[in-house]
Amino acid sequence: MIMPINSVSIVVPVYNEEDNVRLFVDEISGVMRETPFDWSLVIVDDGSRDATVPRLKELAAENARIKLVLLRRNFGQTAAMHAGIQTADGDVIVTIDGDLQNDPADIPMMLEKIAQGYDLVHGWRRKRKDTFINRKLPSQIANWLIARVTGFPIHDLGCTLKAIRTDIAQQIELYGEMHRFIPILAHRLGAKCIEVETNHRARQFGTTKYGIGRTTRVVLDLLTVKYMLKYFDSPMKLFGMIGMWVGSVASLSFLSAICMKLFGGVDITGNPMTLLSTLATILSVQFFSMGLLGEVNARIYFADQNRKNYQIRELVNFDDAGAKKAQPAVDLYRPRSAA
């Protein structure tokens, strides 16, 4: 099935990439000029502290296709990605890193897959040009774990280079470190996904800003994704099952305590094993439940009145309609006034 594409928005989150911005803008522009699509480049600055913003403004002044979303501070890669996706207006959104490691030459191939009827095309850095111990090995372990937990067959969830139809992309809620789970979340919405091999290059300038230090957060987000995929629509399937197992353990413990009382003369109220197992089980279930319910409440909060998990300081080269769409209806950090 051929799905026509008229326009493409390329979303690029950047943070302290002063030496790379002009190079990747020139490279992306050179690739997209050879395509038949109307295109724009949406660059989201995630609170850079170097000369990235002045250089981006120079580029935007030279080329109206370059649109800038300048965040007030460093909100993180997921929030920056979410801001770019929500402000994009093309038929298809392409996400790519601004560090020149993703190859823009792969974009036409991915758009061709979209035109063939796929909703999302995600890259696989099969020959990844990164250090093994602190980059490739943790990524391989994480991808294996994520694939096993979610049941979604994928080799490289950490690859930022993706092409996705805008109507799907803008329905995905991104918080925490959830940007790496975009293919899984899109699949949950019914998107037709495919993984393709992409070229990966060694970093030329600067250092990575989003490294191994966020592994713990990724694991926690994986638990959330698993919950959303399997239990989000029917949480009682999870909590009821846990409750039944805990109830069974409680019943067995109580019967054991009675037997110990009847046949061994052990005081039922002072049996330390019974008290310890009961208290530990209750606390475990309570904490786990509080975490999952907190995730649900956070999503309800952000969805209410178009709340966002980012704040924009300035927009460049956007028309009035685009600016209105980009700005959150409610300031996340300012309580609503009483009616």
| Ranges assigned E (strand) in the chain | 7-14, 38-45, 66-71, 92-95, 120-124, 162-165, 193-197, 312-316
Q: What are phi and psi of 119, to 5 degrees?
A: -95, -25
Between 23-27, 61-65, 170-174, 322-326, the lowest mean confidence (pLDDT) is in 322-326
CATH fold of 7-230+307-326, please? Answer: Spore Coat Polysaccharide Biosynthesis Protein SpsA; Chain A (3.90.550)
312-316/66-71 β-pairing = antiparallel
Most confident of 7-16, 120-129, 280-289: 7-16
Kindly report the CA angle at 20 between 18 and 21, in degrees rounded to 5?
75
Helix (H, G, I), strand (E, B) or coil at 40: strand
CA-to-CA distance for 1 and 52, rounded, in angstroms?
A: 42
Say which range, 41-50, 139-148, 305-314, has the weakest mean pLDDT.
Answer: 305-314
Q: What are the two backbone dihedrals, phi and then psi, of residue 59, each rounded to the nearest 5 degrees?
A: -65, -40
Residue 305: CB atoms within 10 A of its CB come to 10
Q: Which position has the higher pLDDT, 328 or 242?
A: 242
What confidence score (pLDDT) does residue 27 get?
A: 93
Domain extents for the chain? Answer: 7-230+307-326, 236-304
CA distance linking residue 252 with residue 95, whole number of Å: 54
**From CA 114, how far away is CA 309, in angstroms rounded?**
29
Take residue 186 and report the two structure tokens written for it: 């899109």
- At 113, list the tokens: 């897959």
The DSSP H or E segment spanning 254 is helix 236-264
The mean-pLDDT minimum among 181-190, 194-203, 259-268 falls in 259-268
Tokens coding 170: 């803008």
Residue 229 pLDDT grade (very low, low, confident, very high; cuts 50, 70, 90): confident
- What pLDDT was estimated at residue 165? 94
Average of pLDDT values for 37-46? 94
